[in-house]
Amino acid sequence: MVEAVSGLHQHVSISLGQLLQNGEIVAIVDDDAAIREPLRIYFEEHGLPVAECASAADLMQVMASRNVALVLLDIGLPDTDGLSLLPRIVDQYPDAAVVMLTGVADLRVVLDCMRKGATDYLSKPVQFEEIFHVARKALEKRRLVFENRKYQEELEEAHFRIQLLHQLSVKMNTVYLSAVELDQILRAVLVGATSREGLGFNRAFLAMFDDDGRFLRGRMAIGPSSREEAGRVWGEIEERELNFLQIVDNLKETSKTQDAAVNAIARALVVSVEDTENILINSVLGRRSFRVSPENGWVPVPLERRNGNAGRRNNGAMIHERREKAEVVAPSLAVPRDLINILDEDSFAVVPLYSPGRSFGVIIADNYVTRRTIQDSHIGALELFASQASLAIEQSHLHNERQRKIAELEAVNQELDRSKDLLVEAERYSALGHMAAQLVHIIRNPITSIGGVSRILSKKNVEAEWAKYLNVIIHETERVESTLEDLFDFVGQGEIHKEELSLCVVIRKTALLLQSSMAKHGVTWEMECPAPEPVIQGDMHQIRLAFLHLFKNAVEAMAEGGRLTIVVAGAEGQAIVSVIDTGPGIPESYLDKAKDPFFTTKTYGTGMGLTLVERIVSAHGGSFSLKPHPGGGLEVRVVLPLQ
């Protein structure tokens, strides 16, 4: 072979040096040392490291132990045929370029080599310069393949980010974000920042202001708890072939255990909003991103890159103006040692979360495991995710404020309804009071006189026919007098004078007042009272009056006889009194009206008794209700607060 022209030396060595990376070498495989050794010397003079191999076995050993970029492979080897070895090399080391060397110029051999994966083909004899030229072209082609692969990966990553941002936008546009849904969105943003298909950061932390805005607190995080754990989570995801939303759901379930360490780190992040020299507070309030590195300390992301980002221009001129002012860095601003100790990392990016009207927090991302340098492009992509997270937080705040306003309006509306009902009831009771006062004043004396004269006449010896008429007069005047008495009690109810009362004692004494009336109607009664007996604070007269009306109504309902049951119980700070009769009861359609003034059936007399009972019980802070008893009759329940 003929030596190559030395004038190519400098130019070619520089070009080839740029084509080899990470300790890559060229392997020359030929069983003829007279060809192999001069070619090695020629390549090394031009700056290419070379490994000599005399056989296929030598080549496979070198490729297993070193990073071989190019193989110059002779077809005729002592231990195997080069054409048979070629598929094995291509299969096991697909990134290595292979140039075949043969002493036979046969087109079929050339085509066979190319079909089996050879990068190029040379027929012996050939000059070193030509071999070197073909080797350079093969390495350039290999470099283009690598760059194309890298661009393809970047396109796929960009496509993934676009899909993720689209899915997040759809999610936020189709629902009002509750707290649970907001956490899902924020977790998705952190997943996008840390996934291999996304931004590829090793860890991501989210810190947000608390409700009163006094402290910035860590909220959630995603990432390995140690460098040994790196890659496990995403390896599992690749094996299970999960899509993005499934990844989010998967991490939601596993974050309690797998991300416990990074979430503990997140919870340790607590910074006062008054600490304006802290880089986290400065980032969120100044609305600018930072890149921290041990060599340069902290540095703000260049504004020129932001202005070239179309997504950021949409925030408006005001935001850009504030960012421009924020780029003037205060000399006293520093990365707190506590922050570095908490993260156990001195290289990270800080990106703010904010809306036009308020600041929310920051995202902190680092490459804790891989130690990959954080570039401006990485921070720019992270800002896209941060803007999506900011929109989600803003929408959640708006939803919560809307729900709170709705609740307030509903409460005000309910209060207005209650006030309206109270006003109507007060006006009705006021009219009733005026009318009752007039009735009592005008009717009471004449009715009393008529009743008194009728009773006097009935005691004289009169004919039976006249006695019958007198009894009718006496009975009806008694009814009128009873109605007037109820009206008088209702109108005359004044100030309550409370005292300590044993409820069972009061009820028992009240029931005894109607003993003769019960006997007359054939009614028996029984009373159940717990031990110790419940004690209340109440007005003795009014409490007895209320139960007197209840017992009287019950007895009148059992005109043909029956049983009156009184059950007293205590529960949860309340005394519960159930009055149960075995009468015909009240139709369910009348239960809501039974307590209205003047509402009555022929069984329940004047119609003022239940109204008076409800008024007394309410004045004592209790409640009063009516319901049909399962065994027949009516059950009246009075609930009063215990002492």
- In this structure, the number of other CB atoms found within 10 A of the CB of residue 593 comes to 11
Q: Among candidates 526, 511, 529, which has minimal Cα distance to 563?
A: 526
Identify the structural domains of the chain with CATH numbers, from first to last.
Answer: 6-149 (3.40.50.2300), 154-392 (3.30.450.40), 495-641 (3.30.565.10)
- What is the pLDDT, as a whole number, of residue 494? 56
- In this structure, the number of other CB atoms found within 10 A of the CB of residue 492 comes to 11
Percent of the chain with pLDDT over 90: 7
Q: What is the pLDDT of residues 602-639, one digit of tens each?
A: 444 444 567 778 888 888 888 888 888 887 888 889 99
535-563 in b/e form (b: 16+ CB < 10 A) is: bbebbeebbbbbbbbbbbbbbbbbeeebe
- What is the pLDDT, as a whole number, of residue 423? 61
What's this model's pTM, rounded to 2 decimal places? 0.46
Q: What is the pLDDT of residues 52-93, one digit of tens each?
A: 999 989 999 999 999 898 999 888 888 888 888 889 998 999
- What is the pLDDT, as a whole number, of residue 551? 87
Higher pLDDT, 599 or 412: 412
Q: What is the pLDDT of residues 412-428, one digit of tens each?
A: 788 777 667 656 765 66
Distances (CA, A) of 21 to 24, 142, 143, 406: 6, 12, 10, 65
Per-residue pLDDT band for 36 (boundaries 50, 70, 90) equals confident
Question: Token pair of 64, please?
Answer: 């297993």
Query: Region 346-365: what's the mean pLDDT?
Result: 89
Q: Among candidates 51, 53, 48, which has minimal Cα distance to 33?
A: 53
50-80 in b/e form (b: 16+ CB < 10 A) is: bbbbbbbebbbebbeeeebbbbbbbbebeee
Per-residue pLDDT band for 432 (boundaries 50, 70, 90) equals low
Distances (CA, A) of 310 to 170, 306, 314, 399: 21, 8, 7, 28
- What is the pLDDT, as a whole number, of residue 175? 46
CA distance 324 to 288: 9
- β-pair partners for 435: none
The 8-class DSSP code of residue 118 comes to -
Estimate the crossing angle of helix 244-254 against helix 179-194, to 10 degrees: 110
For residue 56, give the amino acid letter: A
Higher pLDDT, 67 or 594: 67
Query: Region 481-493: what's the mean pLDDT?
Result: 63
Higher pLDDT, 544 or 441: 544
Query: Region 583-597: what's the mean pLDDT?
Result: 68
- In this structure, the number of other CB atoms found within 10 A of the CB of residue 234 comes to 16
CA distance 412 to 410: 5
- What is the pLDDT, as a whole number, of residue 604? 40
- Please, are residues 132 and 42 in contact by the beta-carbon 8 Å criterion? yes
Query: Region 37-44: what's the mean pLDDT?
Result: 89
Percent of the chain with pLDDT over 70: 72
- What is the pLDDT, as a whole number, of residue 294? 77
**527 sits in which H/E element:** strand 523-528
- What is the pLDDT, as a whole number, of residue 6? 35
Q: What is the pLDDT of residues 563-574, one digit of tens each?
A: 999 999 988 888
Q: What is the pLDDT of residues 389-410, one digit of tens each?
A: 788 788 777 877 888 888 888 8
- What is the pLDDT, as a whole number, of residue 563? 92
The 8-class DSSP code of residue 464 comes to H
Q: Among candidates 190, 324, 302, 342, which has minimal Cα distance to 255?
A: 190
- What is the pLDDT, as a whole number, of residue 9? 39
- What is the pLDDT, as a whole number, of residue 402? 83
CA distance 17 to 49: 10
On the question of pLDDT at 243 being above 70, the answer is no
- What is the pLDDT, as a whole number, of residue 446? 80
CA distance 53 to 20: 20
Distances (CA, A) of 588 to 229, 503, 550: 70, 30, 18
Higher pLDDT, 576 or 399: 576
Q: What is the pLDDT of residues 89-113, one digit of tens each?
A: 989 998 889 998 887 767 788 888 8
- What is the pLDDT, as a whole number, of residue 197? 62
- In this structure, the number of other CB atoms found within 10 A of the CB of residue 634 comes to 23
- What is the pLDDT, as a whole number, of residue 309? 39
- What is the pLDDT, as a whole number, of residue 605? 43
CA distance 621 to 639: 9
- What is the pLDDT, as a whole number, of residue 5? 33
Q: Among candidates 248, 241, 92, which has minimal Cα distance to 181?
A: 248
Q: Are strands 68-74 and 523-528 parallel, antiparallel or unpaired?
A: unpaired
- Please, are residues 477 and 450 in contact by the beta-carbon 8 Å criterion? yes
Cis upstream peptide for 532 (omega within 30°): yes
pLDDT, mean over the chain: 76
Dihedral of alpha carbons 365, 369, 373, 378, sign = negative
Q: What is the pLDDT of residues 316-336, one digit of tens each?
A: 222 222 233 333 333 345 677
- What is the pLDDT, as a whole number, of residue 301? 45
Q: How many CA atoms lie within 13 A of 134 on its CB side?
A: 19
Q: Among candidates 545, 625, 541, which has minimal Cα distance to 578?
A: 625
Cis upstream peptide for 125 (omega within 30°): yes
- In this structure, the number of other CB atoms found within 10 A of the CB of residue 97 comes to 24
CA distance 190 to 223: 9
Q: What is the pLDDT of residues 143-185, one digit of tens each?
A: 888 888 888 877 777 776 677 666 656 655 554 456 566 777 7
On the question of pLDDT at 476 being above 90, the answer is no
- What is the pLDDT, as a whole number, of residue 248? 57
Distance of CA 579 to the CA centre of its chain: 50
On the question of pLDDT at 518 being above 80, the answer is yes
- Please, are residues 412 and 419 in contact by the beta-carbon 8 Å criterion? no
CA distance 474 to 370: 107
